[in-house]
Amino acid sequence: MLTENHTQDLREVMVQTFIEEAEQDRNLVVLVSDSTSTAKIKPFMERFPDKLVNVGIAEQSLVGTAAGMALGGFVAVTANAAPFLVHRANEQVKNDVCYTNANVKLVGLNAGVCYGALASTHHAIDDVSIMRGFGNIQIFAPSDPVEAKQIFQYALDYEGPVYIRMDSAPFPVLHDPDYRFEPGKVDILRQGRDISIIAMGSTVHEAHAAAFMLEEQGIDAEVVNASSIRPVEHEGILASLRKTGLALTVEEHSMHGGVGSLVAEIIAEAGLGCRLKRLGFVEGKFAVPGPRGAMRAHIGIDAQGIVTAAREMLSRTP
């Protein structure tokens, strides 16, 4: 992992990618719902003021307008807070974007519990489960700046609906310079033989840190970055689990409908004899508000919580 001085906010990567694509004459339009600061979109807005549309605090209009512009030939991107995108504009995402196969890229900013103490009105711990319930939309969650750039480049090239789950904190690079994102392909960040830790988005960093802590205790953990939720290559997940026999999933999301559910479905459908433990927010409950780090520690999705869960699973292994 790089030092703190080498971290970068994934939103800055997003905006820089938009600028580069617009400079190449891509017919791109970015739409915000009074979320210019949330999206850090100012550099793009100053460079291409005619390619930025602010509809105000009106998320349903945001998505409906984006769908209309996409059907008119634009590559339309919405950039606003995930809790308001997936809840307020739920019907428009389903009918205007997914059902019509509109070329809209929905970016859910500040996902998970990025807003911390602002509580459940501002938390998005069900966005992936909601998006998985819709047909015809690809779903991604970048883990670091290298992957974020490639996911956005892919999304802008792809013809059809895409949802990108984004965090709001600076992150170091986890991937090597030669890394190439492929939708659906399983990304093994660290090879291991004792347990597979499968994480999504920013919790990949917690899993990566936990793997080094476990190594000091003589445990060889494999770290799987689940950045491509749909599509997903089942065989890639299964190959890791056949090797280790233990699956520990980690997500800043409800345990309903997220990565834990996805891995459980893959295991069940394959009839694989593999033990699974899911770490995340308890299904059917709201997240308890508070500082984000404390919230992660409370439900065991920080590095130490992952280490504790992994050791407990291994202690029960014959």
Question: The CATH number of the domain where 38 resides is what?
Answer: 3.40.50.970
CATH assignment of the domain containing 275: 3.40.50.920
Does residue 4 carry a pLDDT above 50? Answer: no
Residue 119's SS3 state is coil
% residues pLDDT > 90 (the chain): 94
Instruction: Report whether pLDDT(239) > 70.
Output: yes
**pTM for the whole structure:** 0.96
Mean predicted confidence (pLDDT) in 228-257: 97
Please check whether residues 165 and 194 belong to one and the same domain. Answer: no
Residues 153 and 245 in one domain: no
**pLDDT at residue number 3:** 38
- Considering the domain architecture, whether residues 151 and 28 belong to the same structural domain is answered as yes
Domain for residue 294, yes or no?
A: yes
The residue-averaged pLDDT of 135-141 equals: 96
Instruction: Please report the pLDDT score of residue 246 as a whole number.
Output: 98
Question: Average pLDDT in the 253-260 region?
Answer: 97
**What's the whole-number mean pLDDT along residues 269-292?**
94
Is there a contact between 102 and 72 (Cβ–Cβ < 8 Å)?
no
Q: How confident is the model at residue 285 (pLDDT cuts 50, 70, 90)?
A: confident
Q: For 161, what's the count of Cα atoms within 13 Å in the CB-facing half-sphere?
A: 23
What's the N-to-C CA distance of the chain in angstroms? 34
Q: Check whether 302 has a pLDDT greater than 80.
A: yes
Q: What share of the chain is helix, strand, coil (3-state, %, to 5)?
A: 45, 20, 35
Q: Where are the alpha helices (DSSP H) in 188-291?
A: 203-215, 234-244, 259-270
Same-domain status, 20 and 167: yes
Q: Is residue 237, in this structure, part of any structural domain at all?
A: yes
- Tell me, yes or no, whether 155 and 191 share the same domain: no
CB atoms within 10 A of CB 309: 21
Q: What is the mean pLDDT of the chain?
A: 95
- Calculate what percentage of the chain has a pLDDT beyond 70: 98
Binned at pLDDT 50, 70 and 90, residue 318 comes out as: low
For residues 6-23, average pLDDT: 96
Q: How many C-beta atoms surround the C-beta of residue 158 within 10 A? A: 14
Task: Summarize the confidence of residues 110-130 as an average pLDDT.
Answer: 94
Same domain, 68 and 201: no
Pair 244, 263: CB distance under 8 Å? no
**196 and 166 share a domain?**
no
Does residue 8 sit within a domain?
Answer: yes
Task: Report residue 48 as tokens.
Answer: 């291409």
Q: Is the pLDDT of residue 317 over 90?
A: no
Instruction: Based on the fold, state whether residues 123 and 33 are members of the same structural domain.
Output: yes
User: Which domain does 10 fall in, by range?
Assistant: 4-171
Are 167 and 193 in a shared domain? no
Residues 205 and 303 both lie in one domain: yes
Which H/E stretch holds residue 275? strand 275-281
Helices marked H in 33-144:
36-39, 42-47, 59-71, 82-88, 90-92, 127-133
pLDDT at 177: 87
Q: Is residue 202 part of a domain?
A: yes
* Total number of domains in the chain: 2
pLDDT for res 316: 87
Q: Count of H helices and E strands in the chain?
A: 13, 14
Residues 206 and 157 in one domain: no
Looking at the structure, tell me whether residues 257 and 291 fall in a common domain: yes
pLDDT at res. 14: 98
Tokens representing 145 are: 């700046």
Where a domain ends, among 171, 198, 227? 171
- pLDDT at residue 2 in the model: 37
30-81 pLDDT, tens digit per residue, is 999 999 999 999 999 999 999 999 999 999 999 999 999 999 999 999 999 9
* Cis peptide bond upstream of 231, omega within 30: yes
How many angstroms separate the CA atoms of 127 and 133, rounded?
A: 10
Residue 213 counted as domain residue: yes
